[in-house]
Amino acid sequence: MTRITVKVDGTNYTDEVEPRTLLVHYLREQVGKTGTVVGCDTSNCGACTVHLDGVSVKSCNVLAVQVDGGEVTTIEGLAQNGELHPMQQAFHECHALQCGYCTPGMIMQSIDLLNNNPHPSEQEIRNGLEGNLCRCTGYHNIVKAVQQAAGGAK
Ligand code: FES
Ligand code: FES
């Protein structure tokens, strides 16, 4: 076992993990952040997307030991003082979810997308989300939500 210290959603955790433990399993099973979900385990679907030191990563594609000393933000760390993050609010208002399984990863990836490109075109949004699959195929409203969060369609 290896000891790691990680800040997750603003709280420091020190835990023993096996070297093979994936970040997504560490987050769900040891930290209790079950808002981050597993859709494939083969880095295809993006459902497990979180931010590591401010950048989106697929947490099934990162080992827990690799985040030692780092800072992780999950979907559960976005709302502040009872207020949804603007991207969460936009997904809500645009009905950008159906079953909701892809939603945590979509939102985390969408925030990263706007961090890198605050005013993306529709095509840039579609390109930026290409690593996130929605099995309900709700892409149209997801793109609208990102456009709304960015301050309007372009
Ligand atoms: Fe990580 Fe699908 S569970 S990409
Ligand atoms: Fe069901 Fe995207 S809303 S997978």
Exposure string over 66-92, b if 16+ CB within 10 A, otherwise e: ebeebbbbbbbbbeeeeeebebbebbe
Which residue type occupies 69? Answer: G
The pLDDT tens digits for 125-134 are: 999 999 999 9
Read off the pLDDT band of 77 (50, 70, 90). very high
Q: What ligand is nearest to the CA atom of residue 41?
A: 1
Interatomic CA distance for residues 83 and 151, integer angstroms: 18
Enter the DSSP assignment of 60: G
* Complete domains list, the chain, with CATH: 2-76 (3.10.20.30), 86-149 (1.10.150.120)
The pLDDT tens digits for 133-153 are: 999 998 999 999 999 999 964
The pLDDT tens digits for 16-66 are: 999 999 999 999 999 999 999 999 979 999 999 999 999 999 999 999 999
Q: Return the structure tokens found at 3.
A: 């000891």
Mean pLDDT of 90-112: 97
The reply to whether ligand 2 has any atom less than 6 angstroms from the CB of 140 is no
Ligand 2: residue of 102, 109, 141, 144 to mutate (most ligand atoms within 8 A of CB) is 102
Q: Return the structure tokens found at 57.
A: 């990563």
Global confidence as pTM: 0.96
- The answer on pLDDT for 1 being more than 50 is yes
The pLDDT tens digits for 26-35 are: 999 999 999 9
